[in-house]
A = this chain, B = another copy of it.
């Protein structure tokens, strides 16, 4: 049997009891005959506590030293996990990102993996040991300094190691049973999806579903590494994230009522705000000036809508959405433009939410958008903005109607199971 890479998030190893439970689970996989490589995040709230400590000393911790500090978190969890495995009678050895050969660029706090040279990991496996690797960290190729990978870093470490070791699968464990058709906290009939394509998974994540980070899915897609998203609290099969051509076949085998397969799931996102620039003169280059100012402020915007200008006034409105945390920065960047662009005023609204339907099937099924909008209309939900891609339709609605919108979409596309599945839902850690 081949190599299995297993990644456990901070909530799975939050305390000694969690560490022991995870250790037993790892040993079970080893006993099945697999070589096992484990990637682990920092225990529980360790990372937040270390950030708090840094902020007690300085409001702007230097990135090199912040990385040095934060990597202490995984050093603790990986050593304790290796101890727990050894106490259960199996050989285990922990390795830092650097020791595991995770080579990155020198961008502290958001380093990119540029190479993985897992010589010490393969040596440990060859000696029969389980290898425990610190997630989220690496070492800079140029400066030899310790780096961290930023958000989604541990998931990405796991996939990158799986690829470098030519593993059979990369298993990502969290406190959720898998990827669901919607967030079970607001949609009680949400159903676990057995298989999903990389592309759909990317859209779900991008539209706010807190499952896998974009980055790790992109890495897996590039190298065709299957990801198995599952819970560390149960033995159930989770969700397989695989190439698109492996999704439909299996789903067909399991379920011949294929209408459901058009839409994979409903994602929602409450982290965005909407800015409207009211009364922009409808001249060439005005929109460009506005978005250049936003880009210069390093703000990523999501959806953009420009109304048709009223012929009588020659003025138009431009709306766009952006992360709430960047709202103030964007507003002040735009304020400076009022003189040159000559718009009338700015409107800021952070009580909006985004609801998206995602599914590879919709590209060949006409009328999906219409059916989505009708369902929202029937539920009394007002649509403020719309954007689409080949496998997604997103709408901006007022925040208080997000749950109604999710429920309406979930029902109209028959995504629900007949029974309410009991699940724990949360993030996958970093």
Contact = CB atoms under 8 A, between A and B. Distances in A.
Interface of A: 16, 19-20, 50, 53-54, 56-58, 60-62, 64-66, 68-69, 71-73, 75-76, 78-80, 82-84, 86-87, 92-94, 99, 120, 144
B86 A62 contact: yes
Which are the 5 A-B pairs with shortest beta-carbon distances? A58-B87, A16-B56, A69-B79, A68-B79, A72-B72
A61 B62 CA distance: 34
A47 B82 CA distance: 18
Contacts of A54: 79-80, 83
A82 B62 contact: yes
A16 B62 contact: no
B62 A80 contact: no
Contacts of A80: 53-54, 57, 65, 69
Contacts of A64: 93
Contacts of A57: 16, 19-20, 80, 83-84, 87
A75 to B, nearest CB: 4
Contacts of A19: 57
Nearest to A60: B87
A146 to B, nearest CB: 8
- Number of copies of this protein chain within its complex: 2
B58 A76 contact: no
B83 A66 contact: yes
Contacts of A75: 68-69, 71-72, 75
Given A62-B82, A83-B62, A86-B58, A76 B94 contact: no
A50 to B, nearest CB: 7
Given A16-B53, A68-B94, A94-B68, A61 B76 contact: no
Contact of A94 (B65, B84, B86, B93): B65
A57 B237 CA distance: 28
A361 to B, nearest CB: 47
A425 B94 CA distance: 39
A65 B86 contact: yes
A417 B62 CA distance: 48
B50 A76 contact: yes
Nearest to A91: B62
B68 A78 contact: yes
Nearest to A15: B56
Nearest to A86: B62
Contacts of A68: 75, 78-79, 82, 94
Given A71-B75, A72-B72, A76-B72, A84 B66 contact: no
A66 B53 contact: no
A83 B61 contact: yes
A58 B54 CA distance: 31
A76 B69 contact: yes
Of A19, A65, A73, most B-chain CB atoms within 10 Å: A65
A18 B184 CA distance: 47
A79 B58 CA distance: 12
Contacts of A92: 65
B83 A58 contact: yes
